[in-house]
A and B are shown apart, each in its own frame.
Chain A
Amino acid sequence: DIVMTQSPDSLAVSLGERATINCKSSQSISSSSNNKNSLAWYQQKPGQPPKLLFYWASTRESGVPDRFSASGSGTDFSLSISSLQPEDVAVYYCQQYYTSGHLTFGGGTKVEIK
């Protein structure tokens, strides 16, 4: 099974500053057939289901503010918030969907305001 490891577990960032979350997969999740990386990012606020932010590692879901960006390839990926806003306080998860039949999530990163 592909293991997804996120870092850090939590981070506190001042309002307006950048937050960066990392996600590493235990094996490459880059498909040679379509040259895409099968990685998604979610945001989960307390008491709510997760919200999809990105898929194919860097394709932004409709309606996601452009202060959110995502990048990476192979085994190393990141999610950045360029200017943290109060509404961005949440737990963020990465998820690989490379392995048909067994999707896996990272452990989550809690983003708070410093």
Chain B
Amino acid sequence: QIQLVQSGAEVKKPGASVKVSCKTSGYSFTFYGISWVRQAPGQGLEWLGWIRTYNGNKYYAKKFEDRVNMTADTSTTTVYLELRSLTSDDTAIYYCARDPLHFSFSASPQPSDSWGQGTLVTVSS
């Protein structure tokens, strides 16, 4: 079955960077893009960006484009999110999420039908 398993919770100091991993299995990795979405405590959903695992093309939300990097390792079917220059506003659960079944080989971001369990990133001095 399709699985997206994320790395564990992180605690970071302001100004630091964090790297979250998303290990995928149960499907053809390069067929589907991966989005990253975050949710601050008690708040709504916020889209950070998307990576096309087929060729590494990326789309980043304007708000994050100067301090985010997404990468995909086809050898380990793992996607990574790195966020730099952290502030307390970055405290949130970060989710990776796969494009839906009917959107295989999409060249641009799509909605998501399979989600990781989430990774809590806490930024605190």
A: which residues have CB within 8 A of B?
Answer: 1, 40, 42, 44, 49-52, 55, 61, 93, 95, 97, 100-108
| Known contacts A100-B59, A101-B108, A105-B46; A52/B113 CB under 8 A | yes
B: which residues have CB within 8 A of A?
Answer: 35, 37, 44-47, 50, 59-62, 95, 97, 100, 102, 108-113, 115-118
Is there contact, CB below 8 Å, between B100 and A52? yes
Residues of A within 8 A of B61 (CB): 102-103
Residues of B within 8 A of A104 (CB): 47
Main secondary structure of the interface of A (DSSP, over half): loop
Is there contact, CB below 8 Å, between B45 and A108? yes
| Known contacts A49-B118, A55-B100, A97-B111; A103/B47 CB under 8 A | yes
Residues of B within 8 A of A100 (CB): 59, 108-109
